[in-house]
Every structure is written in structure tokens, then in C-alpha cells.
Chain A
Amino acid sequence: MASNKTAQKTLSLAPVLDLNEATTLHEKLLALKGSDVAIDASAVERVGTLCVQVLMAGAKTWEEDHLSFTFSKVSDAFEKTTQLIGVEIDHLVAKEI
């Protein structure tokens, strides 16, 4: 399954990550499994708990697979929401940003 281990793939998140988006996001992430992935959360205006759960599950999975899972860019709203609900993403945010 790790056919393309070296190539980093980018997943751009939708502006509104609500209940409906959770399943879509889950599928999108599953499709990227096996590759390094950079999440672009710069367009996010609103994010719900379910989508954060999906993303964190992704981070956990990637960690187990020893692949890189990072947030390349995060919007203010995304950052503040994760902070509000006590989800630590600092270690996942790309340091160069």
C-alpha cells in the first residue's frame, strides 16, 4: 500500500467543516493513507468537533504508520477552535509557517 512513500500529498480543507463534512473528510483522508500528507487549513472558517476528531484520528494513524502528517497552513478560526476545545495541534503545524 505504501506505493508512493516519498511524495507528499496536500489536502485542502473546505471552509466549513461541519457534521456533513466529517464523512467526506474521513473518506478523503483514508484515500491518502500511506503517503505523507500536508493539510492546508488556511481556508477554514468554521470547524466542528467531528472534523477535528477525524483529523486527530488521521494524525494518530499517520503516526502509527510513521508517516508525516502536518498542517501546512492553518486559519485563525481553525487554530482558535482547536485551542478552544483543548486539542493541541502545535506539534503538527509546519514549523516554517
Chain B
Amino acid sequence: MDMNEIKEIFFQECEEQLAELESGLLKLNDGDRDPETVNAVFRAVHSIKGGAGAFGLDDLVSFAHVFETTLDCVRSNRLDPGPEVLKVMLKSADVLADLTNAARDGGSVDEARSRQLIKELEALANGEVPQASAAPVEVVAKPVAAVAAPPVNEEGFQPVAFSFDDFEAAEEPPLMETPTYEIVFRPKSDLYAKGNEATLLLRDLSRLGDMSIHCDMEALPTLDRLSPESAYFFWKIQLATDKGEDAIRAVFEFAEWDCDLEISLASDEAASSDEELPMQPVPFDLSILDDEPAVSVGVVEEEEQLASQQLGNAAVSVAGTASNVLQMAQSAARAPAEKAAPAASAAAQGAAGQQAAASAATPTIRVDLDRVDRLINLVGELVINQAMLSQSVVENDTNGTSSINMGLEELQQLTREIQDSVMAIRAQPVKPVFQRMSRIVREIADMTGKSVRLITEGENTEVDKTVIDKLAEPLTHMIRNAVDHGLETPEKRLAAGKSAEGTVRLTAKHRSGRIVIELADDGAGINREKVRQKAIDNDLIAADANLSDEEIDNLIFHAGFSTADKISDISGRGVGMDVVKRSIQALGGRINISSKPGHGSVFTMSLPLTLAVLDGMVVTVANQTLVVPLTAIVETLQPEASAIHSFGANQRLISIRNSFCPLVDVGRILNFRAIQANPVEGVALLVESEGGGQRALMVDAIQGQRQVVIKSLEANYTHVPGIAAATILGDGRVALILDVDAIVAASRGQSLKPEMSLAAVG
């Protein structure tokens, strides 16, 4: 495993930590005051900082550090996480995410923003009003120190220049006001196994003040019984420092799980009772032990530098155990950053354990997506192969011995099960995408000066990874639209008798084998007059076109359509909803809008759970075999001549249970044939189109219903209008999968300009 791989894993973990951070902050925002939530948030930032230190990502470390300091204030109840505080924190979480991305992909970060936030965070840590925040960090830290246990270790870490001149002074008894700590440091073998080094820890410790040390070698065996990689030494240390216990613990930050550490403030008696121990003073120039000599003066982040040096050393010098860096980063993540007495931290750990149990953390492994995809492809081939086998048995073995048939049936069931299980591997909860949306909402709300609350539901609904990956973009557009266009300004809301804060609700749920994502806002709803006028102005519809409310609402999905009066930074660049619709359709999904003036709009997206297989109805149209996605079909019927009504020049309607429904000749639309088929000789498939209206698709015959493996036409051939994808049938022939919405849209060519020019297919 080389350094880059480790780094990659670090970034993956960062993503998880960032998600944890955000959900924690949002919980706090909702009034959750559970200390474990605060701890989780703190831990997330802390482990990002720790890992970033190991890779020398200085920007990330310094920002995380300031963030962490402020969070520490929240944790120790010195800062109340009120709405204003959380606003800053959520923004900081965003910047932290940006910095992580920048470190990963080399993108740029809004430096002014991060500087501003650092100031705000420092001001919060200080408990001061923001204008005082320009003061240097060291100054800021002082008032805090007066309140409670100081985070001085982090803020005021002063490099102590050791020299032999100090040697003399050090042997003087420590001044009265400098407290002396007694430290018992008992490393476990793991400490060394993970590439940590007691000498470095002790070196760092000695920098905190005047240190005397006694090494206990009692446990050391003779050479033949010695295990060279076990820990035998332990140390009793006296350290006179005014940096506080936290600073001492900070030295052992990355090692605290691999050693026993006792730290106590030496009372006079205790100090004298230990006098019998031969203590060696260690106040000499240790710079020779540094990899990079001369510690620069005034570096606030020295603690991190040291830590990163240690980690760096570990990675470089410990060949073959480079992954220790990770282990350390992970152990840092596990560490309840609470640097309290062991008992307290054990309690915290217990609490964390309970929390983890509550969220039922099952063991997981990371698998390369390519491997899963290959498996899925192979299973797809297996399904096709199994279908072919069934077919050839049916064709050749007219007797159809029952054992062969039974075997085939079992095979079919097994293949199906394998397929489902493989698909389940790729299934992921939509949570990460939803979480990204809360950031979008925050940013847009900030830009537009609106007050918005995002409520998410069903975050754990699982859907195929490809779908999730492709969901983020359209969802972002939609959220932007909902906040920018959908919600009114606070003043208008109040005037309309609503609360000033707008609500955007994002819901995910499973519905009959598909995932349905709903985005609802409680804004003004679609201004249909405006939309209609705009459509007429843009020549999208005829001025006298008679459109239903639904059809008007759906106009917003047309290319180049934007009703925002001004083109804003956020949306309204005319690449809004048509792009959304196209991306959703590319996913095999549908999008619907329903809007109530004054009450808001609801966008409903229905997406397939997977892009790999599809339940379809296999039909014949003009001697071609087509597959119609089953999810689109409401019912099938054999039309009677009496139910068919001609309408206009070449439109036909079919009456179904006292309502009329346009009849769409699929063969005609796809140019499979030149003249319209006789409906009575065929079958009508009643489908639900994206406008919500129903259409009856005319096909010649139904062959059957089966699960087909989707093969992308775009990837293997080129995009064909009206066709969503292709599949391979049991007899080895390629069948096209119908894009029902495109067919319906094409049949509607009169009210709307055709979205596509139908090329001859087949």
C-alpha cells in the first residue's frame, strides 16, 4: 500500500467524517443537546485534523484546528450552541469540506471566506463579540483560560528553546507558581507496533517545561527471553510546566490508546516521596533529535507539526507497516477527544459504544466499484444465458421432461436471487446526497436572504449507486429552484400569513419497485399566468393553445424556460428544469410537478432502483420486438371497435370506462410503418405519462413479461430518440426498450414543439 492509497482512504474517511459532522451539527441545530452529539461533531473535526496532519495538509489542519477549539468550548459548556453559533459552525463545516476537496483534487478554496470564518470561530471561542476577533490567537485564548480549564495547549504552544545554558537553571527547584505534574507513562507494545515512538513523545513532553525522568527497567528480561518488539520500559516523569494538563495529554494524543497514562499534579509530599527515585533531568538541546532542526518560532500549529512528523516518521521508517498511519488516524477518530481522566474517557467510550450499538454498526468492507460492476455484468450475462437455455429447451425438447423443466425453474429462481443480492451490494442510502442538499439550501438561503428550513425524510432509503451519483446534480438544481423561485421573501411570507421561515421538504421512499423522491416547498406555487405568457413569448406554445393546469406546470421543464425576472447567480440561467428533466429521464425516471397557488409546489421524481435490470413487457410492433418498462404500464386491454373514436385529422381516442384517452400508435411514431395500424387488431397498453395524463400505446401483440438486462444504447451504439436502451432476449436477438415518455411527448407534437426529430429506427 503506498502513500497515495493511504491518502485516498483518508479522504474517503474524511467524507464520512464530514457527513457525521454535518448531521451532528444539524441535530444540534434542531435543539439536540446530547453531549454525545457534541462529542461526535468534535471527533469528526478532530480526526480530520489528525489525518490531515499526517499528510501535511496545512490549510486543512489549521482550519480544523480553529474549528476544533471552538467546538471544544461547546463541549465544555463554555459556549452555548445557539442558532447564531450553529450558523457559523455549519458554514465552517462547508469550508472544511471545501478544503478537503481542494486537498484531494487541487481545487481552489474561497480564502477570504475561510479567513472570515476563522475569525468568527475564534471570536466564538473567546466568547466575545465578533469585532474583537481580529486579535491574535494567543490573546484570545487568555480570557477563556480564566473561565475554565484552558485550551492553552492548543493556542499558546510556545516553542521552548533548550540550550545548555538553561541546564543550570533547570536544576533549581521549580518556581512556586509553576505546577509540577507527575506523569506515569506506560506504553503498550502496540504503541511501537503502530510506529509510534516513546522517544519522540518524551521529547515533545520535555519541550513543555522542565522535566526529570526515571526509566523503570524492572520488567526488562535477559536477552534470550526478550521479545524485541514488546514494551518493557516505563517512565515516571516530573514535569514543571505552566501549560496545563491538557498540553501534556495533547502530547500523547496519538498514543493514548496504546499506553497507560497517569497524570497528577504533584503535591509537596508526593514530590518528596518520589525523591528516592533517581530522576534524570532532561533539559538539554534536543534539536539534534529532530528531523528538521530548529523549530520555527511562533508556529501556532506546532503540536500538529510534531504529530505529523511522528506520523510521517512512522510511515517512512516503518517499512511494511505504513498502514499504521491509518490505524492511528482511526484511533484518533475513535478517541473521544475528551482529554479527561481515564475513568471519564472510559465512560465516554461506553456512551459512544451504546450510541454505535443504537445505530447498529455492522462490519463493512470497502470494495472497488469496478469489481462490483464486473460481477453485475457477469450476472447480467448469466441471466441472459439462462433465458437462452430455457428457450432452447422449450424449442428442442417437445416432451419437456418435468425434471429438466423443474431444474430450469430452479435455475431461474436462483439467478434472480443472485441478481437481487448483487444489486443489493450496490444499493446505498440516499443520505449523503440529501446531506449535500442541506448545504445547498444554506448557501442559497444566505444568498437570497431567505430563511429556509430543510426537512429530510427517508434518508436511509437505498438505491443503486449509479442512481445516487447521478441524482445529486438534478436535485441540486431543483433545490436551488425551490428556494430561489419557489419560496417567497420573508416579508411576502409574513404578508401571506405564513411563517417567515420557508420549508423545503425532501423525502425519499420506495414505491412499487422504484424510488420516489419528493421535493416540496411551501412557497407561492407556480404562477401559471406568468408561465403561460412566457411560453407564448418564447414561442413554445401557440397564443391560443388550450392547456390544462398540469400542462402549464410542465412547461417549466422546457429548454430555455426561466420565469425569474432577473437572471440571478443561483438559478434562472435557463439551464434549469429542462436539464433536470433530461437527467432524470436519462436515469429511466420520471418527474412530475404539482403546484397549488399560494401553497407551494411538489416535484415528484420516480426513479428505477437499479439501472442494470428492468421488468418489462415484451411486445411486438410491426414485426419488431420491443420492451415496454412494466412500471409505466397501468393496464393492458384489447380495444373494441366501438371504443375507438376518430378525432381531428389523424388523432384517435379510445374510451375506457367512460373517459377518453388518446391512442398512440407506437409503430407509427417510431416510423416502423407508414400507415396507422388498426387498433382492433392490436393491444392497447395504458400508460401513465409524465404529465400525469394517461395514453394508450398501440402495439400489435404482447409476447410476455420478463426481466431484462439493460444494455446501454448510448454506450454501445448511439442515442436513439424514443428508445431508452436495449436488451438481449433469450433467442439472442436485440430488443429495444421503449422510452415511454418520449413516445408520449412525440405524440403530443401539436401542443408542444417536438422535442426530438424521430429518426427511423429498426
Residues of A within 8 A of B (CB): 16, 18-20, 22-23, 25-26, 29-30, 33, 46-50, 52-54, 56-58, 60-61, 64, 76-77, 80-81, 83-88
B29-42 interface mask toward A, CB cutoff 8 Å, 1 = contact, 0 = none?
00000000000000
Other-chain contact of B229, A23, A52, A86 (Cβ < 8 Å)? A23
**A85 in contact with B202 (CB, 8 Å):** yes
Question: Which residues of chain B come closer than 8 Å to A64, judged between CB atoms?
Answer: 222
In-complex Cβ contact of A53 among B220, B235, B279 (8 A):
B220
Proximity string of chain B (462-498) to chain A, C-beta cutoff 8 Å, 1 when within and 0 when not: 0000000000000000000000000000000000000
Chain B residues with Cβ below 8 Å from A33 are 223-224
Are B280 and A83 neighbours in the complex by a CB distance under 8 Å?
yes
Interface pair B317/A50, CB less than 8 Å apart: no
Tell me whether A16 and B317 are in contact in the complex, defined as CB-CB below 8 angstroms, given that A49-B233, A53-B232, A85-B215 are known contacts.
yes
The DSSP consensus for interface residues of chain A is: helix
Among the listed stretches B191-199, B369-377, B628-636, B669-677, which one makes contact with chain A, having 4 or more residues with CB under 8 Å of it? B191-199
How far is B233's CA from A88's CA once the two chains are assembled, in angstroms?
Answer: 13
Q: Is B666 an interface residue (CB 8 A)?
A: no
Stretch in contact with the other chain, from B282-290, B500-508, B519-527: B282-290
Contact B229 A19 (CB under 8 A): yes
User: Does the CB pair A84–B199 fall under 8 Å?
Assistant: yes
Contact across chains for B288 and A61 when beta carbons are under 8 A apart: no
Give the Cβ gap from B168 to chain A, nearest Cβ, in Å. 16
B44 adjacent to chain A (CB < 8 Å): no
**A26→B198 contact, CB < 8 A:** no
| B228 cross-chain contacts in A, Cβ below 8 A | 22-23, 25-26, 50, 53-54
Partner of B199, one of A57, A61, A81: A81
Q: Is the CB of B318 within 8 A of A77?
A: no
Option from A60, A80, A86 in Cβ contact (under 8 Å) with B222: A60
Q: Which of B369-393 contact A (CB under 8 A)?
A: none
Please indicate the chain A residues that have their CB under 8 angstroms from the CB of B278 in the complex: 88
Task: Tell yes or no: B736 within 8 A of A by CB.
Answer: no
Q: Is B582 an interface residue (CB 8 A)?
A: no
A77 and B223 contacting across the interface, CB-CB below 8 Å = no
Distance in angstroms from A26 CB to nearest chain B CB is 4
Q: Which 6 residue pairs spanning A and B have beta carbons closest together?
A: A86-B215, A86-B213, A26-B228, A22-B228, A61-B223, A49-B198
Interface centre among A84, A86, A88 (most CB of B within 10 A): A86
Which chain A residues border B107 with CB–CB below 8 Å? none
CB pair B318–A80 under 8 Å, yes or no, is no
Min distance, Cβ A71 to any Cβ of chain B, angstroms: 16
B47 within 8 A of A: no
Quick check: is B206 within 8 A (CB to CB) of the other chain? yes
Give the residue name and chain of the B residue nearest to A27 (CB): B228
Residues on the A chain within 8 Å of B235, using CB: 85-86
Contact mask for chain B residues 679-709; partner A; CB cutoff 8 A; 1 contact, 0 none: 0000000000000000000000000000000
- Counting CB contacts under 8 A, is B297 at the interface? no
Residue B106, interface by CB 8 Å: no
Verify B232–A58 contact, CB threshold 8 A. Answer: no
Nearest neighbor of B321 in chain A, beta-carbon distance: A19
Is B7 engaged at the interface, CB distance under 8 Å to the other chain? no
Contacts of B231 in A (CB 8 A): 49, 53
Shortest distance in angstroms between B171's beta carbon and chain A's nearest beta carbon? 14
- A9 to chain B minimum Cβ distance, whole angstroms, is 15
* A56–B221 alpha-carbon span in the complex (Å): 9
Residues of B within 8 A of A76 (CB): 288
**Is the beta-carbon distance between A19 and B317 smaller than 8 angstroms?**
yes
State whether A56 touches B192 (Cβ < 8 A): no
Q: Which B residues form the contact surface with A (CB < 8 A)?
A: 187, 192-193, 195, 197-199, 202-203, 206, 213-215, 217, 220-224, 226, 228-229, 231-233, 235, 278-280, 282, 284, 286, 288-289, 317-319, 321
A84 cross-chain contacts in B, Cβ below 8 A: 199, 202-203, 206, 213, 282, 286, 289
Contact in complex: B222, A57 (CB < 8 Å): yes
Q: Which of A19, A58, A61, A87 contacts B217 (CB 8 A)?
A: A87
CB distance from B236 to the nearest CB of A (A): 8
* Contact of B192 (CB < 8 Å), options: A16, A19, A87, A88: A19
Residues of A within 8 A of B215 (CB): 85-87
Cross-chain contact of A19 among B195, B203, B226, B279 (Cβ < 8 A) = B195
Shortest beta-carbon distance from A56 to chain B in Å: 6
| CB pair B284 A80 closer than 8 Å | yes
Min distance, Cβ B232 to any Cβ of chain A, angstroms: 5
- 8 new A-B contacts, CB < 8 A, other than A19-B197, A20-B317, A80-B289, are A18-B318, A20-B319, A26-B226, A53-B226, A57-B220, A60-B223, A84-B282, A85-B213
Shortest distance from the beta carbon of A42 to any chain B beta carbon, whole Å: 14
Shortest Cβ gap from A29 to chain B (Å):
6
Indicate whether A88 sits within 8 Å of B223 (C-beta atoms), given known contacts A26-B228, A46-B289.
no
Query: What is the CA–CA distance of A80 and B213 in the complex, to the nearest angstrom?
Result: 13
A57 near B229 with CB under 8 A, answer no
CB contact under 8 A between A83 and B284, given known A19-B229, A46-B289, A53-B232: yes
A53 and B284 alpha carbons, distance in the complex (Å) = 22
- Are A48's CB and B229's CB within 8 A? no
Min C-beta distance of A70 to chain B, whole Å: 16
Most chain A Cβ neighbours within 10 Å, of B187, B223, B232, B280 = B223
Q: Which B residues are in CB contact (< 8 Å) with A56?
A: 217, 220
B280 touches A88 (CB 8 A): yes
Give Cα A79 to B317, complex, Å. Answer: 21
Q: CB-CB < 8 A to B198: which residues of A?
A: 48-49, 85
State how many angstroms separate the Cβ of B312 from the closest Cβ of chain A: 13
The answer to whether B214 touches A49, judged by C-beta atoms less than 8 angstroms apart, is no
6 A–B contact pairs at CB < 8 A?
A: A18-B318, A19-B193, A52-B233, A53-B232, A86-B282, A88-B278
**Which residues on the B side are within 8 Å of A16 (C-beta)?**
317
Name the residue on A nearest B203 (C-beta): A84
Contact of A86 among B195, B214, B286, B289 (CB under 8 A): B214
Distance of A29 Cα from B232 Cα, bound (Å): 18
Which residue of B has the minimal Cβ distance to A18? B317
Q: When the two chains form their complex, are residues B202 and A60 in contact, meaning their CB atoms are under 8 A apart? A: no
> Would A54 and B226 count as touching, CB distance under 8 A?
yes
- Docked CA distance A76–B175 (Å): 31
- Whether A19 contacts B223 in the complex (CB less than 8 A), given A80-B288, A86-B235, A86-B282, comes out as no
Q: Which chain B residues border A23 with CB–CB below 8 Å?
A: 228-229
Q: How far is the CA of A57 from the CA of B232 in the complex (A)?
A: 10
Minimum C-beta distance from B8 to chain A (A): 25
User: Do A61 and B289 touch (CB < 8 A)?
Assistant: no
Cα A18 to Cα B318 in complex, Å, equals 8
Query: Nearest Cβ distance between residue A23 and chain B, in whole angstroms?
Result: 5
**Whole-angstrom distance from the CB of B186 to the nearest CB of chain A?**
12
Contacts of B318 in A (CB 8 A): 18-20
Known contacts A23-B228, A84-B206; A50/B282 CB under 8 A: no
Residue contact B220 to A80, C-beta cutoff 8 Å? no
Q: Distance (Å) between the CB of A32 and the closest chain B CB?
A: 10
- Complex Cα distance, B229 from A54, in Å, reads 9
Complexed CA–CA distance, A15 and B192 (Å)? 19
Q: Find chain B residues with CB under 8 A from A30 CB.
A: 223-224
A49 and B199 form a contact (CB under 8 A):
yes
Q: Are B280 and A86 within 8 A (Cβ)?
A: yes
C-alpha spacing A85/B279, complex, angstroms = 11
B223 → chain A closest CB, angstroms = 4
Inter-chain contacts of B195 with A (CB < 8 A) = 19
Contact of B223 among A48, A58, A80, A83 (CB under 8 A): A58
